[in-house]
Amino acid sequence: MDAPALSNMQMRDVETLIHPYTNMQAHRATGGQMIERGERIYLYDDQGKRHIDGLAGLWCAGLGYNEQELIDAATEQLNRLPYYHIFGGKSFEVAIELAEKLKEKFPVPMARAFFASSGSEANDTQVKLAWYYNNAKGRPEKKKILARKKGYHGVTIVSGSLTGLPNNHRAFDLPVDRVHHTTTPHYWREAEEGETEEQFVARLASDLEALIEQEGPETIAAFIAEPVIGAGGVLVPPKGYFEAIQPILSRHDIRFIDDEVICGFGRTGEWFGSQTFNIQPDSVSLAKQLTSAYAPLSAVLVDQDMAEALEAQSGEIGTFGHGFTYGGHPVGCAVALKAIEIYESRRIPEHVAAVAPRFQQHLARAGEHPLVGEARGVGLIGALELAPDKSGKSAFTPPAKVGVKFQDEMQARGVILRALGDTVAFCPPMIIKEDEIDALFEPVEAALDATMAWARSEGLL
């Protein structure tokens, strides 16, 4: 059956845009989905069809679409000061207020905030700061960064190296040689035969210690981790994982970078994923729900030790030679302040905690389907990993086709999700209500049935 002809808009799209995370060759044949507007948790395409946004954009539109208070905050700031920078000691109150607010909200004491535009820029900055810090401390050899296989930290040269996904490295000449990856904390996939969850955690801690000893602790600056691995498959850490690895990092004087880009501002049912998983970081990366995605903005929070080292080193050199044109953009800062105000006044983290059991019950029920190897999640984030069986030891060959098929079946039924290989992620706007959670999951069984029938017809099952 021939594919339908592309619309004029789709043809213009194909001829003008490079789409991230897209098979560009296949996109030319099929065309893209054109989104025209949004309202709360819903998106409307150019055909007028309504879809539930099951991924909050890219894990980021926590307050949904067309939130008037955020629009008004942006408009007011545009009328007052639409742009200025914070280079060379220039400043303005909205950036100062946001830095103060972030220091106030984060549960571990932080001393300074550095602003950028994206999570990738924030994590790239984290690495540069770790290098700068150790030069300031007279430890020029202490520069390696440890991350985790399947972790996701961005797509710049360095943050893309931190990301532990092969397709983010292939043909890009990544990762750079100062970055090393340790074991993925995914019990269902990575546990050895007969290994308990407690034993698995002990092995992960042992693997990390072995990697540190192999590379030399005197050469390792930092370890970076998401509380919940997001784009690597929504991997919730096994119980006791962070409690097991943090003493190892402390013992070897390795700084802990907490990547809260997806988990921050209520997604796990608490303000930050660090609270959900008992993490005590030395620095933090924030983005996405920082502005509920209404303006590009990210932040790096650093502790007093780091702040003092940066200040001393910049005094010796004569400048702190790092920054972005739009870092601390006044409109982004104004929107972020208003978003945080809404999270507080509407008790969004508490709302997430209240509706999360319904969300997780639906996930668990879907996990009983024979096409689902594992269902997992926490708060209002979760995933269904599709597999030939439930052993955790088998996968579809070739990979990624079954996940994309399920994603497409859900989209045809009015729910937009995201396939991460053969894992399909759920991460709706945090304002979603219980009856809307029911509607989000209502087409799942039929979509799984259709996907399983297709997989059999393709010889994948």
Q: Any idea what the Cα angle at residue 120 is, between residues 119 and 125, rounded to 5°? A: 95
User: Measured between alpha carbons, how far is residue 432 from residues 38, 63, 115, 248, 428 in Å?
Assistant: 14, 9, 29, 39, 7
The three-class DSSP label of residue 96 is: helix
Strand order through the sheet with 415-416: 35-39, 42-45, 50-53, 415-416
What pLDDT was estimated at residue 362?
A: 98
pLDDT at position 2: 61
Cα separation, 246 vs 223, whole angstroms = 10
Q: Which residues pair with 146 in a beta bridge?
A: 180, 223
Answer yes or no: are the C-beta atoms of 444 and 414 closer than 8 Å. Answer: no
Q: Which amino acid is at 398?
A: P
Digit-coded pLDDT (tens) for 183-236: 999 999 999 999 999 999 999 999 999 999 999 999 999 999 999 999 999 999
pLDDT level of residue 3 (50, 70, 90 thresholds): low
Structural class in CATH, domain 69-345? alpha beta
The span from the CA of 288 to the CA of 264, in Å, is: 8
Q: Give the per-residue pLDDT at 99.
A: 98
Backbone torsions φ then ψ of 441, nearest 5 degrees = -95, -10
How confident is the model over 72-81, as pLDDT tens digits?
Answer: 999 999 999 9
The pair of structure tokens assigned to 36 is 């025209």
pLDDT at 9: 94
- The arithmetic mean of pLDDT across residues 414-423, rounded, is 98
410 close to 386: Cβ distance less than 8 angstroms: no
Report pLDDT for 4: 73
Domain ranges of the chain: 33-66+347-457, 69-345
Contact criterion met (CB below 8 Å) for 31 and 10: yes
Q: Is the pLDDT of residue 322 over 70?
A: yes
Let me know: does 185 contact 148? Beta carbons within 8 Å.
yes
**Strand, helix or coil for residue 222:** strand
The whole-angstrom separation of Cα 419 and Cα 402 is 9
Give 24-69 pLDDT, tens digit per residue.
Answer: 999 999 999 999 999 999 999 999 999 999 999 999 999 999 999 9
Specify the amino acid at residue 208. Answer: L
Query: Exposed, middle or buried by CB within 10 Å (0-12, 13-18, 19+), for 193?
Result: exposed
Q: What is the largest CA-CA distance in the chain?
A: 69
Give CA separation, 54 vs 62, 168, 429, 440, in Å. 11, 24, 8, 7
Alpha carbon distance 359, 361 (integer Å) = 5
Rounded CA separation 129/283 (Å): 10
pTM for the whole thing? 0.96
CA atoms within 13 A on the CB side of 8: 0
Cis peptide before 398 (omega within 30 of 0): yes
What are the two backbone dihedrals, phi and then psi, of residue 65, each rounded to the nearest 5 degrees?
Answer: -110, 150
Average pLDDT of the chain to the nearest whole number: 97
Token pair for residue 61?
């539109």
Beta strands 283-286 and 255-259, pairing class:
parallel
Residue 428 CA neighbour count, 13 Å, CB half? 26
Q: Look up residue 149 and give its DSSP letter.
A: T
- 69-345 and 33-66+347-457 share a CATH fold: no
Contact between 137 and 336 under an 8 Å Cβ cutoff? The reply is: no
CATH of region 33-66+347-457, choose from 3.90.199.10, 3.90.1560.10, 3.40.190.10, 3.90.1150.10: 3.90.1150.10
Cβ atoms of 429 and 41 closer than 8 Å = yes
Alpha carbons 373 and 358: distance in angstroms, whole number: 21
| Spatial contact of 218 and 140, defined as CB atoms under 8 Å apart | no
